[in-house]
Amino acid sequence: MTAGLWQNWVLPGIWTTVQLTLYSAALATAVAFAVGVARTGHSRFVRFLAGFYTEVFRGTSALVLMFWLFFVLPSLVGWQLVPMWAAVLALGLSYGAYGAEVVRGALNAVPPAQRESGIALSFTPWQRMRLILLPQAVPEMIPPFCNLLVELLKGTALVSLLGVGDVSFAAYLVRLATQDSAQIYTVTLVIYFAIAFALTRGMKVLERRTKANLGVVVK
């Protein structure tokens, strides 16, 4: 593979993949916390809506949702999403549904006595969530969130079907130009592994710091 192919296609593809991962992860995190917290609320109607969202987006294909946002939505609303943002929305909404279950499970795992202590101190529901529940639940969310983040990274390869110039699309172009599948796809595997390794190390550091605040040592 020549330096020109690397510089013009592969490096921009890596940057696009990193951007897609970060943007989609940010949206998925926001969705996960909003829906996950809603699923532990007192309102039956809110819990129903949050549960309905979770079931719908866990049960639909992220690829089909991406196509729907890009090809179908414009005919309904009259404006076109660029492929990049259609991909971010599809991945963020889909993985956010999985993350919502992580949030719900971690919040429900906090001992009931902790909730009762907040009530005894006359904390509002938001104060109980912010000061008691989330500080204990977030460290337990990080390992499954790390797995979801790696899955999200690998899921960004779907955007190549919309013509977004990510690593997978760049690899396809290089293969067409060089007719050498072995080299470019081996390099692509290494690139995905390197990004995933960096993400998992970062999440491990975050887990250590959050648990250190609770006096827990992570090996």
| pLDDT over 80 at 217, yes or no | no
Per-residue pLDDT of 81-117, as tens digits, reads: 899 999 999 999 999 999 999 999 999 998 888 878 8
What pLDDT score does 216 carry?
58
DSSP assignments along the chain, one per residue: --HHHIIIIIHHHHHHHHHHHHHHHHHHHHHHHHHHHHTTSS-HHHHHHHHHHHHHHHSS-HHHHHHIIIIIHHHHHS----HHHHHHHHHHHHHHHHHHHHHHHHHHTS-HHHHHHHHHTT--HHHHIIIIIHHHHHHHHHHHHHHHHHHHHHHGGGGGGGT--SHHHHHHHHHHHH--HHHHHHHHHHHHHHHHHHHHHHHHHHHHHHHHTTT----
Per-residue pLDDT of 113-168, as tens digits, reads: 887 888 888 788 888 888 888 888 999 999 999 999 999 999 999 999 888 889 99
Per-residue pLDDT of 2-36, as tens digits, reads: 677 778 888 999 999 999 999 999 999 999 999 99
Output the pTM of the full model: 0.90
| pLDDT over 70 at 214, yes or no | no
